[in-house]
Structure 1
């Protein structure tokens, strides 16, 4: 099954006083890579989030953005360093008595001293909130999966069109290939006639033609190329990630096409080879985005 590596999904779940929003974006990547951004109190369930995602997303760069809104997410409290405060007050009283100062210590003086009194914030992460987060991740990942499958279908249609064009060219070359040797023999005989006056060594001509036929034989390459095309069709139907398999097979097909171009020694086949290489390049661009 053809599945694109490009997709986007969003989920928003509200329950009681909390709202959890999750966005998942995927792009093509050689392997599976995660980039998860969420409140740090949920770092402990990061592996659970990854497990949720990988049930439906098997390859690509996966970016996850989590936002949580609601009351009670952050606990705030005042921290007082009582020991330091005692020393501070005692010191102020001694200074006041020693130097006969009239003004005493005010509450405002203490509140503005951050070393003695400061506010602390602690993020909370209870089981209900974690459950909501995982549910939102599941919904978002399913949306991503649906989008990737829709785009994958479009990729498959285009690839099958290119495969049909490639198959047509292979068939054309297969029909034309046997005539290459005959054309070479005719050209060779004609050129010899131009330089000699009826004295033609038929045995020598046949030897030269045999050598050319051996060098220009592309039957093996065509046979392998046809086999690769059948394998390609089969791989497109597999219910598993197929991107790497298709990429590997494209490399093999390109190798066979290059060999045909170098061995055929014919302008007509050379033209067909150029067209085949152009098709393979287009297919490669599409395959780069298949899971």
Structure 2
């Protein structure tokens, strides 16, 4: 089954006063290209997070983010009242000693002094909180995988439609191919008959016609293209992760279609080949999104 490389997943868990958000975005890329934005408390687990993502998502340009929202009450830093009183006494003493006016707004001035807003002790990540975060990471990955599968189903439907169209166009070549041989034969014989006093060996003419027509024969190209179309269908049914393989098959399909066009030597056949190229180009554009 095809999976798309495009996907999105998000999970939110609550731990005490924290609301922990985990978000994953994925786009197409030739290899795994993972960038992370992780809240400082969880950075020690970055390698573990990367290994988890790489083991499941395999390929794609992936943006991973963890950020924390806290309750409004928990965001307020405590004010160091003892330090404020100390600053007040020192400023008042200096003002009296050197004759400098005291601040007009004492409170605003004191709150701007260093270390007045006391910082909390550095947080440490406990096992319980990490378990909650890891659960959110797993849920976000699972959600992104579900998104990829849904997008992959749409891709598979699109590919099937385009392969059907190319197969139908391939069959449309047959009647023109047969008529082309007769037209070539008639045109050459007519040209020779219009040249006066020319004698030619009919057996030799037949040999040359056969040689010329064989050079324009597209039977092998048609057979190889049919095989590639069948192989493309079979590959779509294999396990996820066949995007590169589908791209290679599409390239081989393009070679056979191009060769068929160069050998066609017939306006109607070349028009059909152009339609086949258009269908294949749409496959090539979308196969870049396949995992």
TM value normalised by structure 2: 0.80
Distance in 2, matches of 1:275 and 1:37, equals: 46
Q: For residue 194 of structure 2, what is the aligned residue in structure 1?
A: 194
Distance in 2, matches of 1:113 and 1:13, equals: 36
Structure 1 position 6, deviation (Å): 1.3
Q: Which runs of 4+ in 1 moved over 4 A?
A: 71-79, 111-123, 197-200
Q: Is the 8 A contact 1:188 1:205 kept in 2?
A: no
Q: For residue 251 of structure 2, what is the aligned residue in structure 1?
A: 251
Distance of aligned partners of 1:226 and 1:122 in 2 relative to their CA distance in 1, 3 Å threshold: farther
Q: For residue 83 of structure 1, what is the aligned residue in structure 2?
A: none
Residue aligned with 1:148, SS: helix
Distance in 2, matches of 1:122 and 1:205, equals: 99
Structure 1 position 180, deviation (Å): 2.9
Q: For residue 222 of structure 1, what is the aligned residue in structure 2?
A: 222
Distance in 2, matches of 1:15 and 1:40, equals: 16
Structure 1 position 280, deviation (Å): 0.5
Q: Is the 8 A contact 1:24 1:65 kept in 2?
A: yes
Q: For residue 261 of structure 1, what is the aligned residue in structure 2?
A: 261
Residue aligned with 1:196, SS: coil
Q: For residue 285 of structure 1, what is the aligned residue in structure 2?
A: 285
Structure 1 position 13, deviation (Å): 1.1
Q: For residue 60 of structure 2, what is the aligned residue in structure 1?
A: 60
Q: For residue 38 of structure 1, what is the aligned residue in structure 2?
A: 38
The gaps in structure 1 that reach 5 residues or longer are: 80-88
C-alpha distance after superposition, 1:232-273 (max 9, x if no partner): 000000112111111111111101111111123222221111
Q: For residue 84 of structure 1, what is the aligned residue in structure 2?
A: none
RMSD of Structure 2 on Structure 1 (CA)? 3.6
What are the within-5 Å matches in structure 2 for residues 68-147 of structure 1?
68-70=68-70, 120=119, 123-124=122-123, 125-147=125-147
Distance in 2, matches of 1:244 and 1:168, equals: 25
C-alpha distance after superposition, 1:133-186 (max 9, x if no partner): 111111111111111111111111111011001111222325543443332111
Residue aligned with 2:35, SS: strand
Distance of aligned partners of 1:10 and 1:258 in 2 relative to their CA distance in 1, 3 Å threshold: same
Distance in 2, matches of 1:255 and 1:78, equals: 75
Number of residue pairs matched? 284
Q: Is the 8 A contact 2:9 2:142 kept in 1?
A: yes
Residue aligned with 2:57, SS: coil
Distance of aligned partners of 1:41 and 1:73 in 2 relative to their CA distance in 1, 3 Å threshold: farther
Q: For residue 270 of structure 2, what is the aligned residue in structure 1?
A: 270
Q: Is the 8 A contact 2:77 2:118 kept in 1?
A: yes
Structure with a larger share of its residues in strand? 1
Distance in 2, matches of 1:118 and 1:6, equals: 46
The gaps in structure 2 that reach 5 residues or longer are: 81-89
TM value normalised by structure 1: 0.80
C-alpha distance after superposition, 1:92-127 (max 9, x if no partner): x9xxx9x9xxx9xxxx9xx78978988556652222
Q: For residue 21 of structure 2, what is the aligned residue in structure 1?
A: 21
Distance in 2, matches of 1:73 and 1:192, equals: 99
Structure 1 position 187, deviation (Å): 1.3
